[in-house]
């Protein structure tokens, strides 16, 4: 057990997802598959001393034949399990129709890469996030420039102040050895152009679990404010993105390595 474990206690008074002196790590499965699966993973996240649990209830799958998520039932599990373990929750909003119910049930709203340019959705999520004081993670479209991404972020804040966190999750290039190409240059570029915090999703960028930890280290060294990492109690049985999900042991090792880098740059991990 580490000192950082105690950070969980303070989460009730958390002023926001991103805190200046901390690296925030969001962990959890790609998709909420069952009550048991989410609870098993939540226990792991809690035991690691982290404060944010991710899990998709509405899954925007490229193939219509892939698992589409448990939808409302998934949100119900996320809310209940988040509260039980004292974890803040992060889940994706895929549609203006489900934006309200997602905001009723989760602490942080995520806009996925496929929806970065869905301006009607951005406006709706911005309105709801402002009213309900929710933070929004805006993933970069996999074919979007940094300028387009920053413009998209302004749709979220058009109707009032909202905590917006940018998330680089890989862009499409000609290389096929990784699922996408993680553009870590986005970190210093965003620092130069914007005041918004930026986190990195190494899971969707790399697409393979053994490549996630090295790029997580690099992301933190480059100055990212945090990570969102797919973690599963049993990746081999995952219904979605198991090949890129870390098992409990791998997640513990990632955290150990990130803490070392964080201490070099004067930050703590939560």
Q: Which residues lie near ligand PEP (CB under 6 A)?
A: 30, 56, 92, 112-114, 139, 169, 201, 204
Contact 258, 49 (CB under 8 A): no
The least distance separating ligand PEP from the CB of residue 10, rounded to whole angstroms, comes to 26
Say if strands 135-139 and 164-168 run parallel, antiparallel, or are unpaired: parallel
The Cα diameter of the chain in Å comes to: 46
Q: Positive or negative, the Cα torsion across 243, 246, 248, 253?
A: positive
The least distance separating Mn ion from the CB of residue 201, rounded to whole angstroms, comes to 9
Binding residues with Mn ion: total (CB under 5 A): 2
Buried b (16+ CB within 10 A) or exposed e, 210-233: ebbbebbebbbebebbbbbbbbbb
Q: Which stretch binds Mn ion (CB under 5 A): 19-27, 64-72, 88-96, 233-241?
A: 233-241
Q: Taking CB within 5 to 8 Å according to partner kind, which of Mn ion, ligand PEP, none is near residue 164?
A: none
Buried b (16+ CB within 10 A) or exposed e, 70-101: beeebbebbbebbeebebbbbbbbbeeebbee
Closer to Mn ion by Cβ: residue 179 or 267: 179
Decide: is 92 part of the binding site for Mn ion (CB under 5 A). Answer: no
Closer to Mn ion by Cβ: residue 99 or 205: 205
Number of neighbours of residue 201 by Cβ within 10 angstroms: 28
Identify which of 218, 210, 205 has the alpha carbon closest to the alpha carbon of residue 257: 218
> Taking CB under 5 A as the rule, which mask of x and - marks residues 166-205 in contact with Mn ion?
----------------------------------------
Q: Which stretch binds Mn ion (CB under 5 A): 35-43, 157-165, 208-216, 236-244?
A: 236-244
Q: Taking CB within 5 to 8 Å according to partner kind, which of Mn ion, ligand PEP, none is near residue 139?
A: ligand PEP
Closer to ligand PEP by Cβ: residue 56 or 267: 56
Identify which of 71, 67, 77, 69 has the alpha carbon closest to the alpha carbon of residue 101: 71
**Whole-angstrom distance, CA of residue 180 vs CA of residue 85:** 33
Q: Which of 4, 33, 201, 241 is in the footprint of Mn ion by CB under 5 A?
A: 241
Computed on alpha carbons and rounded to an integer, the radius of gyration of the chain in Å comes to: 17
The least distance separating ligand PEP from the CB of residue 92, rounded to whole angstroms, comes to 6
Q: Which of 30, 166, 171, 182 is in the footprint of Mn ion by CB under 5 A?
A: 30
Q: Which stretch binds Mn ion (CB under 5 A): 8-16, 105-113, 183-191, 237-245?
A: 237-245
Structure tokens that stand for 64 in this block? 């219509």
Contact positions vs Mn ion (CB under 5 A): 30, 241
């Amino acid at each position: 057990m580490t000192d950082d474990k105690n950070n969980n206690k303070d989460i009730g008074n958390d002023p926001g997802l991103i805190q200046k002196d901390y690296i925030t790590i969001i962990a959890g499965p790609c998709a909420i598959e069952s009550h048991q699966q989410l609870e098993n993973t939540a226990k792991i996240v809690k035991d690691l001393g982290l404060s944010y649990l991710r899990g998709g209830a509405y899954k925007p799958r490229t193939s219509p034949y892939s698992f589409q998520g448990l939808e409302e039932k998934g949100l119900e599990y996320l809310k209940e399990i988040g509260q039980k373990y004292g974890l803040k929750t992060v889940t994706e909003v895929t549609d203006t129709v489900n934006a309200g119910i997602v905001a009723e049930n989760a602490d942080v709203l995520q806009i996925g890469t496929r929806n970065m340019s869905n301006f009607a959705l951005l406006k709706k999520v911005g309105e709801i996030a402002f009213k309900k004081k929710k933070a929004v993670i805006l993933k970069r479209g996999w074919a979007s420039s940094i300028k387009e991404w920053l413009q998209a972020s302004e749709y979220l804040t058009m109707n009032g102040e909202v905590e917006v966190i940018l998330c680089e999750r890989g862009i499409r290039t000609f290389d096929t050895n990784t699922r996408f190409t993680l553009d870590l240059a986005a970190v210093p570029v965003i620092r130069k152009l914007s005041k918004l915090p930026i986190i990195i999703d190494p899971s969707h960028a790399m697409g393979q679990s053994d490549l996630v930890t090295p790029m997580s280290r690099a992301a933190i060294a480059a100055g990212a404010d945090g990570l969102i990492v797919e973690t599963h109690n049993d990746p081999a049985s995952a219904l979605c993105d198991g090949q890129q999900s870390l098992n409990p042991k791998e997640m513990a090792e990632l955290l150990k390595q990130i803490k070392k880098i964080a201490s070099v740059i004067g930050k703590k991990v939560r």
